[in-house]
């Protein structure tokens, strides 16, 4: 579906007209400007449609004496506030006066900061009102040759305020009212007619960007994918469309609208909106379908303003080479029938995992092609006991097959030998109080463990020909058909029709062929999103064709990673630096399904 610009936007699209907004213009006097300073006076004026409809003023008795310089500046002395109400009386009264209004202040960060701290100290709920800062508004609306600065006194004189600011709260609030009205009149000539316009104008949201907000008018409030595009014409007069940016949301209208407001602060997105000529949306039956469609569109379209998920296929794996004495190799393609471990998002991650495996199994690191019949000289690693030295054709060569098989088994079924391989080394480092070195090793092992869980999570899902699952949602039930780790169909149905909807979805689902190498049929990132959805609470399996399972020892019991790394004697000590425990895989014997907790 393509959004179109309506001839006349609705009032909801325009926002709240400024004439209907109630503003409370507030000013505070305080004992200083630090976080420890206290409020000594609150003055506020309530205005609507240009008319004053109420005023609020009270002195406030602080706990500490008022500094002499502040007394000279404001005229508020310690004696003057001696009989004034304390803050726990004054602030609730102001809260009632300002309820439901937009706060206005000159240098709002100062006044609103004091108010928020006061609310927190008294346990009052901060309502999170919209805030207009007349300083920011003046800096955007007025030219430098019109006013030398944006001080309240300067602006009051420029707009011919009937009240002269004098560092007393109510007088300064009255002067700020006149400044506000002067600024509103000024920006009204620039097309600022609503509260939303005013907020965006203050943070310099350009008029042409605000004008594009009507693109969101035709966008539904539903889950789906949106794409900003730019139409152009080439030298031959052919029209072409370039997709600039792709995103997803569970409320398309709200998300698309946000790109034209002050809430969007990313510089590159500002540029994208400026060059865009329109926006397309595709509604989706479920949130997961929207996530998957977003990934597929980013991969196929390669939008220049998207950063993430553009290289979903650029992954690396570890594999054992096919030679007499196999060695670890980092590969970007998985050969048919090869046993691999991964994937990793970059080469550095694979290299860290390889270092862990070298320590655990002492397989060779050299890239020399070794002969099974002719011995060669060993390297320094063999002399250090960090390689079994198959090159010498002695005991190391005789046992190398078992070592390589143990390494393969750690990938396919049991991660515990890798985790336990550093116990002696960690114990020595802890006993010697070399905690930083121990933390590096423990961190590397924790990273390897997370990689192992990811490896089994993906391969288990990729091995299932079909899995139909559902979760309860506001739509009734969100139902998904997953084949070899790829989303083949998605639908939503009311509870009474969930079973028949699942059958219809399976019948019309995309045909997915079994992928090679035990990898997901879709991208790895898509399979991870699907796995995350399946593992959330409340998901129910409707039907499975094949077994969705993990090896029992692919993970360890919750909280037991430290036990595996350190052994029972040291595992009760606090975690080592760089080590974070990972959650386990738990087996459900009834369904033969292992779900990570």
pTM metric for this prediction: 0.66
Q: For residue 59, what pLDDT is reported?
A: 96
The pLDDT of residue 262 = 66
Residue 465 gets the label, from left (phi > 0), alpha (psi -120 to 50) or beta, of alpha
- 297 and 342 co-located in one domain: no
Tens digit of pLDDT for each residue in 339-349?
A: 889 899 889 99
Provide, rounded to the nearest whole percent, the portion of the chain with pLDDT above 70: 91
Count how many domains the chain has: 3
Domain CATH number, residue 259: 3.40.1440.10
Residue length of the chain: 597
Distance CA 227, CA 248 (A): 9
pLDDT at 573: 52
Contact between residue 230 and residue 244 where contact means Cβ atoms under 8 Å apart: yes
Residue 25 region, left (φ>0) first, then alpha (ψ -120 to 50), else beta? beta
Same domain, 348 and 269: no
Residue range 320-337: mean pLDDT, rounded: 87
What pLDDT score does 204 carry?
65
> Would the pLDDT of 95 be above 80?
yes
> Do 351 and 441 fall into the same domain?
yes
User: Is 509 within a domain?
Assistant: no
Could you give the CA distance from residue 364 to residue 447 in angstroms, rounded to a whole number? 22
Query: Are 282 and 394 found together in one domain?
Result: no
- CB count within 10 Å of CB 444 equals 18
Mean pLDDT (the chain, rounded): 86
* 267 or 117, which is more confident: 117
CA distance 60 to 41: 5
540-545 and 466-473 strand pairing: antiparallel
Question: What local confidence, expressed as pLDDT, does residue 1 receive?
Answer: 41
29 & 154 share domain = yes
Q: Which of 146, 145, 177 is nearest to 161 (CA)?
A: 177
Domain that residue 417 falls in: 316-457
124: DSSP letter: P
Alpha carbons 509 and 285: distance in angstroms, whole number: 14
Residue 189 has pLDDT above 80, yes or no: no
Percentage of the chain lying above the pLDDT 90 cut:
53
3-state secondary structure of 585: strand
Given a cut of 90, whether residue 110 has pLDDT beyond it is yes
**Helix spans in 5-86 (H):** 11-14, 68-74
Cα 318 versus chain centre, distance:
29
User: What is the arithmetic mean of pLDDT over 271-284?
Assistant: 91
Q: What is the pLDDT of residue 214?
A: 84
Max distance between CA atoms of the chain, in angstroms, equals 103
Of the residues 255, 274, 301, the one at which a domain ends: 301
pLDDT tens per residue across span 537-573:
999 999 999 889 888 888 888 778 888 888 776 655 5
CA dist., res. 358 & res. 353, Å (int): 9
- pLDDT digit string (tens) for 361-400? 989 988 888 888 888 888 888 878 888 888 888 888 889 9
The CATH number for 155's domain is 3.30.420.10
Cis before 343 (ω within 30): yes
Sort 367 into a burial class: Cβ within 10 Å, 0-12 / 13-18 / 19+: exposed
Positions marked active-site: 167
Q: Which helix (H) or strand (E) holds 454?
A: helix 435-462
Q: Identify whether residues 443 and 397 lie together within a single domain.
A: yes
In angstroms, the Cα distances linking 514 to 319, 464, 490, 522 are 21, 9, 20, 11
How does residue 462 score in pLDDT terms, banded at 50, 70 and 90? Answer: very high
């Amino acid at each position: 579906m393509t959004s179109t610009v309506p001839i006349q936007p609705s009032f909801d699209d325009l926002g709240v007209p400024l004439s209907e907004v109630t503003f409370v213009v507030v000013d505070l006097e305080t004992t200083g400007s630090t976080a420890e300073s206290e409020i000594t006076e609150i003055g506020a004026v309530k205005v609507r449609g240009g008319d004053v409809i109420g005023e609020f003023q009270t002195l406030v008795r602080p706990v500490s004496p008022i500094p002499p310089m502040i007394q000279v500046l404001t005229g508020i002395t310690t004696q003057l506030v001696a009989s004034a109400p304390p803050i726990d009386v004054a602030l609730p009264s102001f809260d009632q006066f300002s309820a439901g209004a937009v706060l206005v202040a000159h240098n709002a960060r100062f006044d609103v900061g004091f108010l928020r701290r006061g609310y927190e100290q008294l346990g009052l709920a901060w309502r999170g009102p919209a805030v207009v800062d007349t300083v920011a508004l003046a800096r955007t609306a007025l030219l430098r040759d019109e006013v030398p600065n944006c001080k309240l006194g300067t602006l009051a004189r420029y707009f011919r305020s009937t009240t002269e600011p004098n560092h007393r709260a109510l007088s300064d609030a009255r002067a700020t009212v006149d400044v506000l009205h002067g600024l509103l009149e000024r920006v009204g000539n620039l097309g600022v007619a609503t509260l939303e316009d005013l907020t965006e104008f203050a943070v310099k949201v350009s008029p042409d960007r605000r004008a594009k907000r009507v693109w969101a008018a035709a966008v539904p409030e539903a889950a789906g994918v949106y794409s900003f595009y730019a139409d152009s014409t080439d030298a031959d007069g052919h029209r072409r469309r370039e997709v600039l940016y792709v995103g997803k949301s569970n409320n398309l209208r709200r998300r698309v609208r946000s790109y034209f407001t002050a809430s969007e602060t990313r510089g590159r997105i500002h540029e994208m909106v400026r060059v865009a000529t329109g926006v397309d949306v595709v509604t989706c039956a479920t949130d997961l379908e929207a996530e998957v469609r977003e990934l597929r569109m980013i991969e196929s379209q390669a939008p220049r303003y998207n950063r993430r998920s553009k290289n979903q296929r650029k992954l690396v794996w570890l594999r054992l080479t096919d030679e007499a004495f196999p060695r670890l190799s980092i590969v970007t393609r998985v050969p048919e029938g090869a046993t691999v471990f991964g994937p990793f998002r970059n080469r550095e991650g694979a290299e860290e995992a390889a270092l862990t495996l070298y320590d655990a199994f002492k397989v060779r690191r050299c890239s020399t092609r070794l002969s099974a019949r002719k011995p060669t000289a060993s390297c320094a690693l063999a002399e250090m006991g960090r390689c079994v030295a198959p090159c010498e054709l002695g005991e190391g060569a005789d046992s190398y097959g078992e070592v390589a098989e143990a390494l393969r088994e750690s990938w396919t079924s049991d991660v515990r030998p890798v985790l336990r391989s550093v116990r002696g080394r960690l114990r020595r480092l802890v006993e010697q109080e070399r905690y930083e070195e121990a933390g590096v090793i423990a961190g590397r092992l924790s990273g390897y463990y997370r990689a192992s869980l990811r490896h089994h999570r993906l391969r288990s899902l990729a091995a299932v020909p079909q899995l139909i699952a559902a979760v309860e949602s506001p739509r009734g039930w969100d139902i998904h058909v997953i084949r070899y780790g790829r989303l083949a169909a998605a639908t939503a149905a009311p509870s009474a029709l969930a079973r028949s909807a699942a059958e219809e979805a399976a019948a019309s689902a995309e045909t997915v062929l079994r992928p090679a190498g035990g990898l997901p049929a879709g991208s790895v990132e898509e399979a991870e999103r699907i796995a995350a959805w399946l593992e959330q609470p409340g998901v129910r399996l409707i039907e499975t064709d094949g077994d969705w399972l993990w090896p029992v020892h692919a993970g360890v019991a919750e909280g037991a990673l430290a036990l595996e790394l350190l052994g029972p004697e040291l595992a009760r000590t606090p975690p080592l630096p760089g080590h974070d425990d990972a959650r386990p895989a738990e087996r459900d014997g009834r369904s033969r399904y292992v779900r990570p907790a």
